[in-house]
Amino acid sequence: MSTFAVLAGDFPKSPAPQIAGHTLRLPRPAGSPMRSLSIDSPYEVVHAAEITSLEIVSQASGKSFGGAAAAGIAGGLLLGGVGAIAGVLAGGNKDAVTFQITLRDGRKVLGSAKPTVFQEIQTAEFACRGQEPPPRVEARPPKPLTRRGIAVRVGLVALLLGGVYLGMSVLVARVFP
């Protein structure tokens, strides 16, 4: 499961959105209807077929000073001066793609991700283009426990404790004859 960052739009910035297969898990806005797999989930599950447009806003590449310096020091320690130069050149690369997703219901997300994560989103969107999204499964609150359900749980706990007691008594009888 890969993550990306929400920069702006109709979804909050945290928790970090995720993509897995053809499904995006976007942070659920406060007060939104439950469109997630569980009632406690902070995510709204959005199928890639619900994406109407996916556009690159900008691409940036550069170097992280800290990453380049650390790679240069490590290269210098291992291979001397040539290793330090190679480490600085190879280390600290930072690439980011800023993109905009528009959903069927008109909501938008401005996000930022590594190029590989953006490719995952793009692949999922392309694979589902023109398809109808699967029907949404609305999360339901758990059913309240009935007397029978409570009795079954109490019985299972009693059975478990009885088995532990029996096992311990057999063990003690064998250890201390």
**pLDDT tens readout for residues 11-35:** 888 778 888 888 888 888 776 655 5
Q: What does pTM read for this prediction?
A: 0.57
Percentage with pLDDT > 70 across the chain: 72
* Angle made by CA atoms 4, 36, 122, in degrees to the nearest 5: 35
What type of residue sits at position 165? Y
Any residues with CB less than 8 A from the CB of 104 and at least 6 apart, and which?
50, 51, 52, 133
Report yes or no: 10 and 46 within 8 Å, Cβ to Cβ.
no
Model pLDDT, residue 60: 73
What type of residue sits at position 79? L
Two tokens, residue 40: 């406690």
Average of pLDDT values for 93-118?
87
Report yes or no: 123 and 44 within 8 Å, Cβ to Cβ.
no
Model pLDDT, residue 82: 62
Domain limits of the chain? Answer: 2-57+98-128, 146-177
2-57+98-128 in CATH: which number? 2.30.29.30
